[in-house]
Amino acid sequence: MDGLTKYDDAEYFSPECRKSDAINLVTEAYDSKVKNKQHSDRILEIDSSVNILKQASDAICERSITRDNGEDKSMLKTLKVFSELVGHEVMTESEGWLFMACVKLGRSQQGKFHLDDYIDAAAYVALAGEAAAKEQ
């Protein structure tokens, strides 16, 4: 499949990830593009926006399984440690995720192109949106 990752390994993802509406929408868009082979002779361009979002979604789910504890994402712990280090509260969880997106976007402008910079930035923006919704 020209270096693309197969996305239907159901046992790979936690039940929460498999049931996510956002993941289902991205998967449906991915599947639709694969079936229709629109805009390309290849099944799906490696740098298509749908594929980038799918990979970002996969990364969030994978990291949630391997590093996070259910709803407890790593950003809150990271901010607590950093606040202790500098002696004052530094930012909200959503701001922390936006900061990480900026790190990845900054890296994207240096050196050679790495698609991973954009995949990670998309994931961080999604996490920022999730955190901002909870902060309201």
Residue-wise pLDDT tens digits, 62-101 = 888 887 766 667 899 999 999 999 999 999 999 999 999 9
Q: Tell me: do 77 and 136 sit in the same domain.
A: yes
Q: What pLDDT is stored for residue 90 in this prediction?
A: 94
More confident residue, 133 or 36: 133
Residue 133 lies in a domain: yes
Nearest to 73 by CA among 136, 135, 7: 135
Residue that the structure tokens 């790593």 belong to: 74
Q: Tell me: do 136 and 117 sit in the same domain.
A: yes
Judge whether 57 and 64 are in contact, CB under 8 Å: no
Dist CA 11 CA 14 (whole Å): 7
Q: Tell me: do 120 and 62 sit in the same domain.
A: no
pLDDT at 55 over 50: yes
pLDDT at 131 over 80: yes
The total domain count for the chain is: 2
Q: Which of 40, 72, 104 is the last residue of a domain?
A: 72
Q: Tell me: do 56 and 90 sit in the same domain.
A: no
Q: Tell me: do 38 and 89 sit in the same domain.
A: no
Q: Tell me: do 59 and 105 sit in the same domain.
A: no
Dist CA 63 CA 115 (whole Å): 18
Question: By residue range, what is the domain housing residue 52?
Answer: 8-72
